[in-house]
Amino acid sequence: MSRTYLGASTIPTGDRVKALRKHVRQQIGNFADRVSWEGRPRRVVVTSKTFKQLARMCGAPKQRQGPFARRVLTSTDLARCVDRLSGIPARDRADIPGVSDSRARQILGGAVVALETMRRLRIEEAELSPWALREGIMLAHLAQVDPTAAPPVRPVPCESTRSSCAPALVTGHTSPSRR
């Protein structure tokens, strides 16, 4: 979509961004109607590298703060992000903290898709999952079915002398160094 609607390396015109927004709204229309008919979602969780980079651009904690740092993406922040990205050539977007070189050309398209989807579904805030979709669904399902069956998803106290330590899953298994 970025290549088709926004162009390869130039700053996209307002008309190009509007055309992409219109296309996204048309594509998600039936899906959005169905989701709206089902009722307003209580919790929205997103996962993808694009969402991670967008959340980081919007002020979410850095990845080095660990998977359990709360990361959210609001539609208000995302709208500002789309405006900002729209004014920067694709080749320069990688200079923005949180945007990788490999995604600099597609991040604006991803931001437009995310924003239009959030607007259409009336989503004000989405939580970013530290896991891929299948792992996140599996862990959430296990926790609901039998909370003792899933590994607790919480930070573990650091046993290091360092001042900070990345959180980890508690699985009940000891690491090879502690056996």
Instruction: Classify residue 177: in a domain, yes or no.
Output: no
Instruction: Classify residue 139: in a domain, yes or no.
Output: no
Instruction: Classify residue 28: in a domain, yes or no.
Output: yes
What does R_g of the chain's alpha carbons equal in angstroms? Answer: 19
**Is 175 a residue whose pLDDT tops 70?**
no
Instruction: Classify residue 159: in a domain, yes or no.
Output: no
Domain count for the chain, please give it. Answer: 1
CB neighbour list of residue 66: distance below 8 Å, 6 or more residues apart: 155, 166, 167
pLDDT digits (tens, 9 = 90+) for 63-86: 899 888 899 999 999 999 999 999
pLDDT digits (tens, 9 = 90+) for 128-159: 988 877 887 777 777 777 766 655 555 545 44
Give the domain extent around 16: 2-130
State the pLDDT at residue 151.
56
Please report, for residues 101, 159, 173, 178, the alpha-carbon distance to residue 120 in angstroms, rounded to integers and kept in the order given. 30, 46, 44, 51
3-state secondary structure the chain: CHHHHHCCCCCCCHHHHHHHHHHHHHHHHHHHHHHHHHCCCCCCEECCHHHHHHHHHCCCCCHHHCCCCCCEEEHHHHHHHHHHHHCCCHHHHHHCCCCCHHHCCCHHHHHHHHHHHHHHCCCCEEEECCCCHHHHHHHHHHHHHCCCCCCCCCCCCCCCCCCCCCCCCCCCCCCHHHC
Instruction: Classify residue 169: in a domain, yes or no.
Output: no
Instruction: Classify residue 140: in a domain, yes or no.
Output: no
Instruction: Classify residue 29: in a domain, yes or no.
Output: yes
State the pLDDT at residue 61.
92
Instruction: Classify residue 16: in a domain, yes or no.
Output: yes
State the pLDDT at residue 31.
86
State the pLDDT at residue 120.
92
State the pLDDT at residue 171.
37
What percent of the chain clears pLDDT 90, i.e. is strictly above it? 39
pLDDT digits (tens, 9 = 90+) for 5-55: 887 667 888 888 999 999 999 999 888 888 888 888 888 989 888 999 999
CATH number of the domain within which 51 lies: 3.30.420.150
Q: What angle do CA 59, 44, 74 make, to 5 degrees?
A: 30
Tokens describing residue 90 = 């694709």
